[in-house]
Amino acid sequence: MIIRRANEYEINHLFQWSLSLTEELSAGYMESNLHMAHDMVSKVLSHGGYYLIAQHGWEVMGWILLGFDQNFYKNNPVGFLYELYVFPPYRKNGVGKILMKEAMDQLKQAGMKSVQLNVFAGNSAKNMYKKLGFKEVTMLMEKEL
């Protein structure tokens, strides 16, 4: 397996995959929304963010979208992991963990002192994030009216 930056051609594919996987990535919270997804990815990529791909042979096993943001509460720069996805046949084999560690290493090399991510309550990757040292900072709560 190799981990590398996605090229322009792959970025378009990753965006399409992400769009079709929106419901899964959000643990059922969101429906696919082309405009919103395009805006988010474009903003991340235009501010120095990029995709890393886990690849075995010609097969893409998964990806992570990393970038840079501002910690709203502490008002300092922070690395941010916007999206992690591993295709089902490659899950439970450490691919997500390897992508996470590589992304965090690259953010550290870029001078970031901390890294954040947002995870939906029902997302099973939450356990992996905790094992990698992430801790809960805030909890968004919602009630339908």
CATH node for 2-132: 3.40.630.30
Q: How far apart are CA 128 and CA 86, in angstroms?
A: 13
What is the tens place of the pLDDT at every residue in 7-18?
988 888 887 777
DSSP assignment letter at 80: E
What is the tens place of the pLDDT at every residue in 113-131?
999 998 888 788 888 999 9
Domain ranges of the chain: 2-132
Q: Is the pLDDT of residue 26 over 70?
A: no
Q: pTM (2 decimals)?
A: 0.85
Tell me which residue of 108, 134, 112 sits closest to 123, measured CA to CA: 134
Instruction: Assess contact for 53 and 60: CB atoms under 8 A.
Output: yes
Give the list of residues 6+ apart from residue 116 with CB closer than 8 angstroms, or none.
Answer: 69, 71, 78, 79, 80, 81, 137
In 47-125, which ranges are continuous DSSP H helix? Answer: 95-109
